Each structure stands twice: as structure tokens, then as C-alpha cells.
Amino acid sequence: MTLAELFEKDTLRFLLFGGKGGVGKTSNAAAASLWAAEHGRETLVLSTDPAHSLGDSFAQNLSGGEAVQIKGVKNLYGLEIDPRKAYAEYQQMAQQPDMEEMGGMDMMGLGDLSDITAPGADEALAFSKVLEYIQECEYDLVVFDTAPTGHTLRLLGLPEMLDSFFGKLIKFRLRMGNIFGRIKAAFGRGDSEQDNSLEQMEKLKETISAARIELSDPERTRFVIVMIPEAMAVAETERLLQALYEFQIPSSHIITNMVFPEVLDCKFCKARKDMQEKYLAQIRDIYDDFTITEVPLFTHEVRGLPTLRRLGKLLATGTLPPLGE
């Protein structure tokens, strides 16, 4: 299946872009989301990278905490998820006594864990926001601009981590509930509040399991690997693929970005071109069951709607429209 066919797949709901630092994940995610939106799909482009640059790519502030419309594009919305903000939100909500307000999926239902500082808690909370978008999914397509490999791998592992963390917590609460329930009963008091927070935890566990199913369904989810044709990128792609396989995230497409053009009478250019050609041949050979799309090195950075539109068209159709089109 070409990248174009993947983009046009009706069932596709989640398109993730990932790879090593600086290879063009944000640019390609932004370009793909723009193409999808301009071809009739209500699209959300979501950055899970704490060092955001999605807003830069669209030359628009996307850090407000809510998805906002990309100016000048009808069906496109963008959001950079800020783990620190998600954490602050959580702490504030956890202090509120009324658990009813906290919505089914929020882990904020854990009133007695307001001081949670477990390592990775901020990432986990940011991921809970991502889960929210996966579960509610008001959009036809959600495009993820992910962080460089290491961080993304941790994020992909979070559903399992949270699952077991919450699994243990639920068991613990059940046991404690039994003890406290008996004490309360002895004093003639009910334990409805306790039941409610248990319910919240069960719901969160269900949400996590549902998200796992969504993210591992090849009809609905694809992880597109972005890489540049250089030795280090090849090595890192191996690690990323291994992790995707482990977490059962379907992946079938690779974008080789910043491919050097053919330039006559330039020794430097020829040397770079030859070096890249060597790795491109290697990539084609190793990943022969992947669809590989080559993206040339542009003369300018990829930023703003006109350039993103050109890149989007290249990804979706395989041809780069001339400048100014």
C-alpha cells in the first residue's frame, strides 16, 4: 500500500510519525495532517513531544491546552500537549472534593493520591490526555507528532505501565475498602464515596485497554517512521521497529527525508549524494516489506502552509508540485 493509499484509507483514525531527533517528524506530521484536512477529513494534529515545534511549523501558537483551528484551514485543528500543564491540572482537580465532576476517564478520580510524584507521572498524565483524544475521538483522523525515539518508546509502554499500576491500586483499594467498610459499618456509616472512586479507576483501566486495542489495530492505526539516509538513523530505526513490534503498533511505511538532490559540478554535493545513496540502498534492502517514500532536501526549512502543502502533496501523491503552485 502506498502512502497515498494509506492516507485515503477510510478506516484510518490514528497516524503516528516517529523517529530520531531532527529527522523531520514534525514537518511530515504537519504536512500529512494538512493534506488530510484539505481532502475533507476533520483532522487533529497532536504533538506529544515536550519540546514542541508543531506550532512553529504552522507559525501559530498551539500550546493553549485545547485544540485550536489552524488559521486558514477549515478542517484542521492542532494541539501541543504540555505534560507540566497536565500535571498541574491533575493536582488541582485531585484536591477538589467532588469526584462526580471528574469525568469517567480522568485519573484525577484518585482523590487520595493527589501528591503522586512517581517517576514518569507527568508523562503518564500527558498520555492520559492522549487517551482522552483516542477514546472520544471526535475527529476523522488524529495525526501524532511524537518525540524523538527514546521518549516515544517510553510513552508507548505507558498503557501497560499504567494498566499494571492501576491494577494494583484497584486491588489495594478493594482490600482497604473491605477493612474500612467493616469499620464504617460498625459505626453505622455507608461507603458510597469509596465505591465511586473505585468506579473511576475501573473506568480508567477500561479506557487504557480500549486504547491499546485501537492502537494495535492495523485498520485504524499506523506508525510512519521518518528517517534520514545515514548510518545512525538506520541503527535507531531498528530499535524503534523492535519496540513497535513489542507494543504491537502496526507500521508499514517509512519516509526517507532530506534526500540530497543531484547537483552537477559540485564535489561536496556529489560526496553527500553518494553517501546517502549507499544508505538508501541499504534501507531499501533491509525494509523491503515497507513502503518507502523519498522526500528531497528542500532549499528552505519546511514551515508555513505553502511549504507544508507541497510536502503533503508529495507524501500523498508521490509527486512534488513546483514552487508557487
Ligand X SMILES: Nc1ncnc2c1ncn2[C@@H]1O[C@H](COP(=O)(O)OP(=O)(O)OP(=O)(O)O)[C@@H](O)[C@H]1O
What is the contact surface with Mg ion in residues (CB under 5 A)? 25-26, 53
Indicate whether 257 belongs to the interface with ligand X (CB under 6 A).
yes
Indicate whether 303 belongs to the interface with ligand X (CB under 6 A).
yes
**Closest CB to Mg ion among residues 21, 261:** 21
CB 37 within 8 A of CB 74: yes
Indicate whether 258 belongs to the interface with ligand X (CB under 6 A).
yes
CB of 294 to ligand X, least distance (A): 10
Residues 6+ apart with CB under 8 A from 186: none
Q: What, of ligand X, Mg ion, none, does residue 295 touch, CB below 5 to 8 Å by kind? A: ligand X
Indicate whether 64 belongs to the interface with ligand X (CB under 6 A).
no
Burial class of residue 323 (count of CB atoms within 10 Å of its CB; 0-12, 13-18, 19+) = exposed
Among 215, 233, 302, 316, binds ligand X (CB under 6 A): 302
**Closest CB to ligand X among residues 204, 315:** 315
Grid cell of 86 as nine digits: 497536565
**Among 112-120, 133-141, 181-189, 292-300, which window interacts with ligand X (CB under 6 A)?**
292-300
Residue type, 263: V
Q: CA-CA distances (angstroms) from residue 2 to 5, 14, 15, 253?
A: 5, 17, 14, 8
Indicate whether 60 belongs to the interface with ligand X (CB under 6 A).
no
Residues 175-234 that bind ligand X (CB under 6 A): none
Determine the 3-state secondary structure of 84 from DSSP.
helix
Q: Give residue for cell 530520531.
A: 20
Indicate whether 21 belongs to the interface with ligand X (CB under 6 A).
yes
CB of 237 to ligand X, least distance (A): 13
Residue type, 271: A
Among 298, 309, 317, 320, binds ligand X (CB under 6 A): 298
Determine the 3-state secondary structure of 227 from DSSP.
strand
Indicate whether 297 belongs to the interface with ligand X (CB under 6 A).
yes
CB of 53 to Mg ion, least distance (A): 5
Q: What, of ligand X, Mg ion, none, does residue 309 touch, CB below 5 to 8 Å by kind? A: none
What whole-number distance in Å separates Cα of residue 180 and Cα of residue 11? 48
Q: What is the CA radius of gyration of the chain?
A: 23
Indicate whether 27 belongs to the interface with ligand X (CB under 6 A).
yes
CB of 81 to ligand X, least distance (A): 14
What whole-number distance in Å separates Cα of residue 239 and Cα of residue 14? 22
What whole-number distance in Å separates Cα of residue 162 and Cα of residue 31? 32
- Complete edge-to-edge strand list for the sheet that includes strand 221-227: 68-69, 76-80, 43-47, 141-145, 14-19, 221-227, 253-259, 291-296
**Among 115-123, 158-166, 233-241, 299-307, which window interacts with ligand X (CB under 6 A)?**
299-307
Q: What, of Mg ion, ligand X, none, does residue 103 touch, CB below 5 to 8 Å by kind? A: none
**Closest CB to Mg ion among residues 23, 162:** 23
What whole-number distance in Å separates Cα of residue 237 and Cα of residue 242? 8
**Closest CB to ligand X among residues 48, 128:** 48
Residues at the interface with ligand X (CB under 6 A): 21-27, 49, 53, 148, 257-258, 295, 297-298, 301-303
